[in-house]
Structure 1
Amino acid sequence: MFRIEYSNLSKYFFIGLICLGSLLANSCVNKNEELTASPNIVLILSDDLGYGDLGSYNNNSLVPTPNLNKLASEGISFTNAYCPVSVCSPSRYALMTGTYPFRSWKSSGVMSNYEPSMIDEGQLTLPQMLQQSGYTTAGFGKWHLGATFPTLDGLKPAGFGKFKADNNGANIDLQKPISDGPVAHGFENWYGFSCASECWVMDGDDIVAALQHEFYNIDSAKHKEHIEIIPANKYLKRITEKSTQFLTQQSKTKKEAPFFLYFAPYVPHIPLSVSEEFKGTTKAGFYGDYVSELDTYIGKILNTLDSLGLAENTIILFASDNGSQFERTGVHIDNANPSNNLEDVNGKSQNPNEHHPNGNLKGSKWTIWEGGVRMPFIAKWPGKIPAGIKSDKIFALNDILATISSVIGFDLPKDAAIDSYDQFPNLMGEEKIIRESVVVQSAKNRMGFRKGNWKYVEPDNDELEGQLYNLLEDESESRNLIRENADVAEEMRKELLNIITGTVSEK
Structure 2
Amino acid sequence: MIKNKPNVILMLVDDLGVGDVSCFNTEGKIKTSHLDRLAESGMRFGNSHATSSLCTPSRYSLLTGRYNWRSRLKSVVLHGDSETLIEKNRTTLPQLFKSQGYHTAAVGKWHLGMDWHYKKHIDYQAYGIDPADYPEAEVVPDKQYGRLGNFDNDYPTHLIEGIDIDFTKKIKYGPNQYGFDYFFGTPASLDQPPFVYIENDTVTEIPTKVTGTAPLDRMGASQQQKWQLGVIADNYKHQECPKVMQQKVIEIIEQQAEKEEPFFLYYPCHLVHGPIVPEEEFQGKSGLGPYGDFVLQLDHYVGEISQTLKEKNLDEHTIFIFTSDNGASGVADFPSLLAQGHNPSGIYRGKKMDIWEGGHTEPTIISYPGHVKANSFSHQLVSHSDIFATFAEMFGVVYEDETAEDSVSLLPLLKGDRQEIREDIVVSCANGGLALRTHEWKLNLVKNGGGSLGRNAEQSFGPFELFKIDEDIEEKNNVIEEYPEVVDELMIRLEKYIKEGRSTTGQKQKNARNNPTGQWEAISWIPDYPEYIKTLTD
Does residue 83 in structure 1 map to residue 67 in structure 2?
A: no
Q: Which string of whole-angstrom CA distances, capped at 9 and with x for unpartnered residues, describes residues 66-96 of structure 1?
A: 1111111111111111101100000000000
2:221 is aligned to none
Which one of the candidate residues 166, 169, 176 is aligned to 1:176?
169
Which one of the candidate residues 177, 183, 194 is aligned to 2:187?
194
1:248 is aligned to 254
Contact (CA 8 Å) 1:358, 1:364: kept in 2 or not?
yes
CA distance in 1, matches of 2:10, 2:477: 36
Contact (CA 8 Å) 1:327, 1:363: kept in 2 or not?
no
Q: Report the 3-state secondary structure (helix = DSSP H, G, I; strand = E; otherwise coil) of the residue aligned with 1:70.
A: helix
1:339 is aligned to none
How many angstroms does 1:459 deviate by? Answer: 4.4
Q: 1:406 to 1:228 in 2, by over 3 A?
A: farther
2:509 is aligned to none
How many angstroms does 1:126 deviate by? Answer: 0.4
The residue type paired with residue 438 of structure 1 is I
CA distance in 2, matches of 1:272, 1:155: 31
Q: 1:69 to 1:395 in 2, by over 3 A?
A: same
CA distance in 2, matches of 1:244, 1:115: 29
How many angstroms does 1:423 deviate by? Answer: 1.4
The residue type paired with residue 472 of structure 1 is D
Q: Report the 3-state secondary structure (helix = DSSP H, G, I; strand = E; otherwise coil) of the residue aligned with 1:229.
A: coil
Q: Report the 3-state secondary structure (helix = DSSP H, G, I; strand = E; otherwise coil) of the residue aligned with 1:77.
A: strand
The residue type paired with residue 201 of structure 2 is D
Does residue 399 in structure 1 map to residue 366 in structure 2?
A: no
Does residue 492 in structure 1 map to residue 476 in structure 2?
A: no
Contact (CA 8 Å) 1:328, 1:355: kept in 2 or not?
no
Contact (CA 8 Å) 2:257, 2:314: kept in 1 or not?
yes
Structure number with larger C-alpha Rg: 1
Unaligned runs of 5+ in 1: 1-32, 222-226, 336-347
The residue type paired with residue 182 of structure 1 is P
CA distance in 2, matches of 1:132, 1:296: 33
Contact (CA 8 Å) 2:84, 2:112: kept in 1 or not?
yes
Q: 1:406 to 1:258 in 2, by over 3 A?
A: same
How many angstroms does 1:108 deviate by? Answer: 2.1
CA distance in 2, matches of 1:63, 1:212: 33
CA distance in 2, matches of 1:420, 1:356: 31
How many angstroms does 1:200 deviate by? Answer: 2.8
CA distance in 2, matches of 1:417, 1:51: 26
Which one of the candidate residues 216, 226, 239 is aligned to 2:228?
216
Contact (CA 8 Å) 1:97, 1:416: kept in 2 or not?
yes
1:277 is aligned to 281
How many angstroms does 1:41 deviate by? Answer: 0.2
CA distance in 2, matches of 1:470, 1:282: 36
Q: Report the 3-state secondary structure (helix = DSSP H, G, I; strand = E; otherwise coil) of the residue aligned with 2:30.
A: coil
CA distance in 2, matches of 1:293, 1:88: 20
CA distance in 2, matches of 1:400, 1:297: 23
Q: Which string of whole-angstrom CA distances, capped at 9 and with x for unpartnered residues, describes residues 459-481 of structure 1?
A: 42568852111222111100011
CA distance in 2, matches of 1:207, 1:463: 41
Q: 1:46 to 1:212 in 2, by over 3 A?
A: farther
Q: Report the 3-state secondary structure (helix = DSSP H, G, I; strand = E; otherwise coil) of the residue aligned with 1:302.
A: helix
Q: Which string of whole-angstrom CA distances, capped at 9 and with x for unpartnered residues, describes residues 388-437 of structure 1?
A: 11111010000001101112222222211111001101122211211110
Q: Report the 3-state secondary structure (helix = DSSP H, G, I; strand = E; otherwise coil) of the residue aligned with 1:318.
A: strand
How many angstroms does 1:326 deviate by? Answer: 3.6
Correspondence 1:420-499 to 2 at 5 A: 420-460=407-447, 461=459, 465-499=463-497
CA distance in 1, matches of 2:345, 2:244: 28
Which one of the candidate residues 101, 106, 123 is aligned to 1:139?
106
Q: Which string of whole-angstrom CA distances, capped at 9 and with x for unpartnered residues, describes residues 268-294 of structure 1?
A: 111101111111111332111101100
Q: Which has the higher helix share?
A: 1
1:161 is aligned to 145
CA distance in 2, matches of 1:262, 1:156: 36
CA distance in 1, matches of 2:296, 2:67: 31
2:236 is aligned to 230
Which one of the candidate residues 45, 51, 54 is aligned to 2:12?
45
CA distance in 1, matches of 2:255, 2:499: 46
Contact (CA 8 Å) 2:110, 2:185: kept in 1 or not?
yes
After superposing the two structures, state which structure 1 stretch, 182-191 or 279-288, moved more: 279-288
2:354 is aligned to 367
Could you state the TM-score of these two structures normalised by the residue count of structure 2? Answer: 0.79
Unaligned runs of 5+ in 2: 125-136, 147-155, 213-225, 448-458, 506-538
After superposing the two structures, state which structure 1 stretch, 80-89 or 413-422, moved more: 413-422
**What is the count of residue pairs matched by the alignment?**
448
CA distance in 2, matches of 1:212, 1:379: 39
2:297 is aligned to 293
Q: Which string of whole-angstrom CA distances, capped at 9 and with x for unpartnered residues, describes residues 55-75 of structure 1?
A: 100001111211111111111
Q: Which string of whole-angstrom CA distances, capped at 9 and with x for unpartnered residues, describes residues 33-56 of structure 1?
A: 97xx21100000010000111110
Contact (CA 8 Å) 2:81, 2:161: kept in 1 or not?
no
Contact (CA 8 Å) 2:44, 2:365: kept in 1 or not?
yes
